[in-house]
Amino acid sequence: MYSYIDGFFVYLLTEKNASPHTIKGYENDLYNGLTFFTRIIGIEDYRLHPAQVTKEIFRSYLGDMHAQQKSGATIARRMSSWRSFFKYLCREGVLEDNPLARISIPKRVRKLPSFLDQTEMGRLLACPERQKLLGARDQAVLETLYSTGIRVSELVRIDIDDIDLSRGSIKIIAKGNRERLVPMGSYAVEVIRNYMQRVRPLLMDGEKGRQSALFLNNQGRRLTDRGVRWLVQRYVQQLNLQTKASPHTFRHSYATHLLDNGADLRSVQELLGHARLSTTQIYTHLSKERIKRIYDQCHPRA
């Protein structure tokens, strides 16, 4: 089974342009199921052949996850990973039939994403001390996240050559290595220019001077996902905000504020880089929830 799973990962990487995070997710899901299958079948995992994993065994796996009170989202994700894996095996001629083809997988319950209102976002963006070296860097990071709505994984991949301050745009390498051009506002342009001219050169020296990354840590290396999450969390705690906020909260807030201020859904889809409009539509539900809450709070007969 291991060799087939490794082949699947190569297929995801080379043919589907899957990100390392996506492949890691598949790895966790497949090995979780593999542990259950080998226990039920009573065979060493390295000797297990995919043909031995029948739809009856998958039904037992479903029952086991329900017994462990796994969330619907977890169950749906794991079963979806196995369905994709077996579809790949059928494509490669290893199996004739996909045992998951006729098993209904529970639908994922999509939770409404949390976001900051415009006042909270303004306070958060004003938090870094711009006169300090890392404060100016942090302000540029936060303004970029909010001004563009990009993912943290996209932010840390930005290189100097991807920025066009005169046009107010950034070239983004999105999921699947797809490129898109994202506009940014005048506030972001100003703080990025300040960071690039005054701060970034001081974070680099010697060998580090060849670093192509836009955002650097205090050692002159490319800022990481973890580093961005840490700095966002630090400012959220500093403000004692009631809403739990992460770098992705900036993306949710960006989309919600655009829709609240009259942007159409197709434009927001394009700006976010969503392949499907259905992914963007969750933000319309978010705006409706907000409108309903305002109505309940403000109408005398609500």
Ordered per-residue pLDDT tens for the chain, 302 residues? 889 999 999 999 888 878 788 899 999 999 999 999 988 888 876 688 899 998 899 999 999 998 999 888 889 899 999 999 999 999 999 998 888 887 777 666 566 678 888 899 999 999 999 889 999 999 999 999 999 999 999 999 999 999 999 999 999 987 667 788 999 999 999 999 999 999 999 988 655 556 799 999 988 899 999 999 999 999 999 988 877 789 999 999 999 898 888 888 888 888 888 878 877 777 776 666 666 766 677 767 65
Query: What is residue 245's predicted lDDT score, i.e. its pLDDT?
Result: 86
68, two tokens: 């462990």
Query: What is residue 177's predicted lDDT score, i.e. its pLDDT?
Result: 72
Residues 6 or more apart whose CB falls under 8 angstroms from that of 276 comprise: none
Q: Tell me how far apart the alpha carbons of residues 280 and 233 are, in angstroms, rounded to a whole number.
A: 26
What structural domains does the chain harbor? 2-91 (1.10.150), 118-298 (1.10.443.10)
The residues that are catalytic are 151, 175, 248, 251, 274, 283
DSSP codes joined into one string, 140-205: HHHHHHHHH---HHHHTT-BGGGEETTTTEEEEE-GGG-EEEEE--HHHHHHHHHIIIIIHHHH--
Query: What is residue 286's predicted lDDT score, i.e. its pLDDT?
Result: 61
Backbone angles phi and psi of 280, in degrees to 5: -75, -25
Query: What is residue 48's predicted lDDT score, i.e. its pLDDT?
Result: 86
CA distances from 169 to 165, 181, 188, 196 (A): 7, 7, 10, 15
Q: Tell me how far apart the alpha carbons of residues 167 and 185 are, in angstroms, rounded to a whole number.
A: 10
